[in-house]
Amino acid sequence: MRYAVIMAGGVGTRLWPMSRRKRPKQLLPLIDGRSLLELAAGRLEGVVDPPRRLICASEAHRAAIREAIPELTDEQILGEPVGRDTVNAVGFTAAVLAKRDPEAIFAILTADHIIEPQDEFRRKVELGFQVVEDERSRFATFSIMPTYPATAYGYVERGRPIPGFQGAYEAKRFVEKPDAKTAQGYLDAGTFGWNSGMFVFGAQEFLDALRRFKPRSYEGIARIADAWGTPQQQIVLNEVYPTLPKISVDYAVMEPASQDEQISVCTVTMGVWWMDIGSWPSYGETLSEDQHGNRANTITTHLDSHDVLAVSDDPNHTITTIGCKDLIIVHTSEATLVCPASQAERVKELTDRVDKSLQ
């Protein structure tokens, strides 16, 4: 049976000071008053039936998730005691689903992207399910057709088409974030797509791969699975999960799987508008700009300023500038960030230096 799981465990430190550990970016009402998690949940309409939709996120955010998406039951939220990177979140999910349904096939979807149009997204996720159902040894990833030579994303190179599944290809190789020249070469080649971080796996097949490629993670996940559904469920989860080695699913499973004879790694191309809201400049792209390139989600007055992003958690708060250029200003009731747009990637570094109460 098909399942869909939204990964929502990130903190989003590059969107500080709005995004905090107690209220990460996926729960902030950033897009027309709606959170990224709400948008992601809405994308599941027509993908799988409501009872088979899950969210994997921090246990500390369970109440906030239930408030944002009240139709979810507690059983549909898989709460991580601590974050241990994506391979353990996917392994945890696979173990729970395999125990519920040994034939489970699940899509791993993200909570920090804007993806449009919905029809294309739905159609390609359906294709991903079909490809894996046809041959359960397949691991499917989704690659986004690039529109510019991005250096902030990983890439997937398409190989031969998979017969009978138009839009699905063998995955020739995975490439980490390239430099600008290499990224332009990928765009010109026309055979590379952005690695979306979305996948389709058979639950048991993923666990088998985890056992072979990352046995320490598998052993811990197996202990959690054995206790799942028993009175010891939470005790074992809290004890074991923090000990799992931190590593991404791309490094831990997808890269070795692409070289493994027992697994067929494929990619489904998505022709969608796809944006990773992972920094203030990327969030700024969701806002309209004035004639001078200034963008804002609040009241602003600018005098001889250009390309300023002004953001506030209070829509009635006024931000003003004089003679500023390429600047980011983010105001909250507890902290304010001001930095050149070119230094936006350093916000994550900054959060390590502020008071812990503000992290």
Same domain, 73 and 164: yes
Q: Decide which of 226, 246, 276 is a domain's last residue.
A: 276
Same domain, 56 and 178: yes
Does the pLDDT of residue 303 top 90, yes or no? yes
pLDDT tens-digit readout, 147-196: 999 998 999 999 999 999 999 999 999 988 899 999 999 999 999 999 99
pLDDT tens-digit readout, 125-140: 999 999 999 999 999 9
Same domain, 89 and 57: yes
Same domain, 267 and 285: no
Distance between CA atoms of residues 26 and 37, nearest Å: 5
Q: Decide which of 276, 306, 332 is a domain's last residue.
A: 276
Same domain, 230 and 272: yes
Same domain, 160 and 259: yes
Residue 208 tokens read as 């088998």
Q: In percent, how much of the chain has pLDDT > 90?
A: 89
Distance between CA atoms of residues 144 and 194, nearest Å: 5
Same domain, 254 and 328: no
Q: Decide which of 254, 276, 298 is a domain's last residue.
A: 276
Same domain, 190 and 295: no
Same domain, 253 and 162: yes
Same domain, 191 and 239: yes
Q: What is the mean pLDDT of the chain?
A: 95
Q: Give the mean pLDDT of 338-349.
A: 94
Residue 214 tokens read as 């990352």
Same domain, 168 and 312: no
Rounded (5°) CA angle 256-260-264:
105
CATH assignment of the domain containing 240: 3.90.550.10
Structural domain that includes position 312:
280-358
Q: Is the pTM of this model over 0.85?
A: yes
Amino acid occupying residue 180: A
User: Could you give the number of structural domains in the chain?
Assistant: 2
Question: What was the pLDDT predicted at 358?
Answer: 83
Question: What was the pLDDT predicted at 99?
Answer: 95
Contact by Cβ (8 Å): 87, 211: no
